[in-house]
C-alpha cells in the first residue's frame, strides 16, 4: 500500500497540436486553405476530397477542427454534419461549415444539425486562422479536461482500493467473537463513519485465568487516526511497553501516555479503557483515560457504571492513572463502547445521554440479537442509519 506519507502522482496532460481537416471536393480550395495555414506553427493540415472517406479520415487523423463544404457531388453537407455528430469519435470535434451562400436559413439548418461555426468561402486568412485557433483551443482544453478527469478517477480507484485494504487490515486486528460455550462469551459491533476509523479494541488472555480487555478511541477519523489506533492496539496486543506489567491497568495507561505523546503523533490523542478480569476470583480491575464508563448488567437487571478518572493518552506528560477493582456477579454482561455509540443527535438536535444509552442496553434483550438491537435502537433514536463517529461496542458475558 502507498497510503502513509504518499501523495498522488502529478497528472501530466498530453500536448496537442492544432490539426485541421478540410473536406471539399475542389482541390483548388484545398490548396488555397493549405497556403493560408502553411506558416502557422504547430499546425497539421489534411485535405479530403472524397466525402465518402471523410468519417474514416477524421477517425484516422483526429483533427481538432473540421472544415466542411456544404455542397459536394454525391453528398448532402447537412447530412454529413449529422453523421459527424452521430459518430462517437467525431461527436465533439468542432465543425466549421464552409458555404458559398450567405443565407440565414442555410446557416440555421447547419447549426441545427450540429455545426459549431459557419464561414462563407473563401474566407479571409486572418478570420479563418482566428476561428481555427478559437475552436481548436476549446477542443484541446476539453480533451485535456477529460484526460485529467480520467486520471483523477483512476487515482480515486487506487486510493479506494488501498483504503479498503487498510480497512480490512484494521478489522483483521479485532478479536474473534467467542461462542456461548467459551469461558467468557463475547461479541462486538464495529461500524466506522469513514473508510478508516480511529477506534480499536481487543481482549486476550494474559494467563489461563486473567483476561485483558481494552477499547481505545483516537480523536478524528481517516488515515492518521487509523495509523495511531493500529500502532497503539498492536503495542497492547504484543505487550511492547518496556517495564510494564500488563496485568496492572494503571501501569499500561501510564506507559501508553509516555509512548504516544501528542506532539509526536501530529497532535492526536486517544481515550482508552483497559481492564483485567480474573476468571477465578471474578474481580475486574480497570483504569480509565478519558473514556466513557462501561456498563455492567447483572442477570437480575441491575446496572452499574464503571466510572473512573484519568486524562486522555498523550495530552500531558506525567499524567497519573488509577486502578479500580469491582466484583462481578456470575452471568453479568459487560458492555464497553466508544462515545460514537451514544453521542448522536436526533431530529430535534438533542444529544443522547449515557443514561439514554443505558436504557437502550437494558432493553436490548439477550444474545444473540442484543447487539443488533442496540445498533438499530441508536439508529432509530437519531432517525438515520449512518453514524457521524465510529460505533464500537463490545459485550462480554462474564
Give 126's strand partners. Answer: none
Q: Which tens digit of pLDDT belongs to each residue from 90-113?
A: 999 999 999 988 889 999 999 999
pLDDT at res. 15: 87
Beta bridge partners of 18: 43
Instruction: Report the C-alpha gap between 243 and 256 in whole angstroms.
Output: 12
pLDDT value at residue 370? 94
- CA R_g for the chain: 35
- Mean pLDDT computed over 63-71: 95
Cis-peptide into 368, omega within 30 deg: yes
Q: What is the pLDDT of residues 193-234, one digit of tens each?
A: 888 889 999 999 999 999 999 999 999 888 889 999 999 999
Q: Which three cell numbers stand for residue 202?
A: 481487543
167 — pLDDT class (breaks 50, 70, 90)? confident
Q: Are 312 and 289 in contact (CB under 8 A)?
A: yes
The closest alpha carbon to 7, from 162, 218, 225, belongs to 162
- Asked if residues 39 and 86 have their Cβ atoms less than 8 Å apart, the reply is no
- What secondary structure does DSSP assign to 225-279, as a single string? HHHHHHHHHHHHHHT-STT--TTSHHHHHHHHHHHS-GGGTTT--EEEEEEEEET
Alpha-carbon distance of 203 to 217, in angstroms, equals: 15
CB-CB contact of 24 with 30 (8 Å): yes
Q: Which fold has domain 18-145?
A: Rossmann fold (3.40.50)
392 pLDDT band, cuts 50/70/90, is very high
Neighbours of 97 (CB within 10 A): 27
CA distances (Å), origin 1, targets 11, 166, 240: 20, 8, 25
DSSP string spanning 312-347? PBTSSTT-----EEEE--TT-EEEEE-GGGT--B-T
The model's pLDDT over 5-33, given as tens digits with 9 standing for 90+, comes to 445 567 778 889 999 999 999 999 999 99
Report the pLDDT value the prediction gives residue 1, as an integer from 0 to 100: 37
What was the pLDDT predicted at 6? 46
What pLDDT, on the 0 to 100 scale, is given for residue 164? 86
Average pLDDT of every residue of the chain: 93
pTM to 2 decimals? Answer: 0.73
Check if the beta carbon of residue 113 is closer than 8 Å to that of residue 78.
Answer: yes
Least confident span in 215-224, 238-247, 292-301: 215-224
**Averaged over 125-152, what is the pLDDT?**
94
* CATH fold for domain 173-397: Phosphatase 2c; domain 1 (3.60.40)
Q: What is the pLDDT of residue 327?
A: 97
The string of DSSP letters for 24-59 reads: -S-HHHHHHHHHHHTTSTTEEEEEE--GGGHHHHHH
Residue matched to cell numbers 455545426: 115
pLDDT-based confidence at residue 116 (cuts at 50, 70, 90) = very high
- In the chain, where the domains are located: 18-145, 173-397
Amino acid at each position: 500500500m502507498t497510503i502513509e506519507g504518499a501523495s498522488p502522482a502529478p497528472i501530466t496532460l498530453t500536448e496537442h497540436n492544432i490539426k485541421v481537416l478540410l473536406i471539399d471536393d475542389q482541390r483548388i480550395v484545398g490548396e488555397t486553405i493549405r497556403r493560408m495555414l502553411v506558416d502557422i506553427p504547430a499546425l497539421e493540415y489534411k485535405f479530403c476530397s472524397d466525402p465518402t472517406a471523410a468519417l474514416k479520415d477524421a477517425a484516422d487523423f483526429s483533427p481538432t477542427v473540421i472544415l466542411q463544404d456544404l455542397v459536394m457531388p454525391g453528398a448532402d453537407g447537412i447530412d454529413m454534419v449529422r453523421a459527424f455528430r452521430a459518430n462517437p469519435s467525431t461527436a465533439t470535434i468542432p465543425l466549421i461549415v464552409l458555404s458559398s451562400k450567405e443565407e440565414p436559413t442555410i446557416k440555421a439548418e447547419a447549426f441545427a444539425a450540429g455545426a459549431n461555426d459557419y464561414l462563407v468561402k473563401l474566407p479571409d486568412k486572418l478570420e479563418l486562422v482566428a476561428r481555427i485557433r478559437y475552436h481548436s483551443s476549446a477542443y484541446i482544453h476539453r480533451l485535456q479536461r477529460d484526460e485529467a478527469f480520467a486520471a483523477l478517477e483512476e487515482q480515486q480507484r487506487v486510493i479506494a482500493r488501498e483504503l479498503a485494504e487498510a480497512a480490512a487490515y484494521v478489522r483483521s486486528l479485532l478479536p474473534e467473537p467467542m461462542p456461548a460455550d467459551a469461558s467468557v462469551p463475547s461479541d462486538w459491533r464495529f461500524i466506522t463513519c469513514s473508510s478508516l476509523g480511529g477506534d480499536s479494541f481487543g481482549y486476550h488472555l494474559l494467563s489461563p485465568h486473567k483476561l485483558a480487555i481494552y477499547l481505545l478511541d483516537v480523536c478524528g477519523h481517516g488515515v492518521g487516526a487509523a495509523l495511531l489506533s493500529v500502532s497503539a492496539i498492536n503495542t497492547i496486543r504484543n505487550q511492547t511497553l518496556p517495564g510494564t506489567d500488563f496485568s496492572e491497568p494503571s501501569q499500561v495507561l501510564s506507559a501508553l501516555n509516555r509512548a504516544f505523546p501528542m506532539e509526536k503523533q501530529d497532535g492526536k490523542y486517544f481515550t482508552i479503557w483497559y481492564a483485567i478480569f480474573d476468571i477465578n476470583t471474578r474481580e475486574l480491575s480497570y483504569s480509565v483515560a478519558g473514556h466513557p464508563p462501561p456498563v455492567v448488567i447483572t442477570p437480575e437487571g441491575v446496572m452499574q457504571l464503571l466510572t473512573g478518572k484519568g486524562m486522555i493518552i498523550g495530552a500531558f506528560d506525567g499524567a497519573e492513572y488509577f486502578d479500580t477493582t469491582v466484583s462481578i456477579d456470575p452471568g453479568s454482561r459487560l458492555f464497553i463502547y466508544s462515545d460514537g455509540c451514544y453521542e448522536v443527535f436526533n431530529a430535534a438536535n438533542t444529544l443522547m445521554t449515557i443514561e439514554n444509552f443505558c436504557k437502550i442496553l437494558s432493553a436490548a434483550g439477550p444474545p444473540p440479537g442484543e447487539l443488533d438491537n442496540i445498533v438499530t435502537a441508536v439508529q432509530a433514536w437519531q432517525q438515520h442509519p449512518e453514524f457521524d463517529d465510529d460505533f464500537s461496542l463490545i459485550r462480554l458475558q462474564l
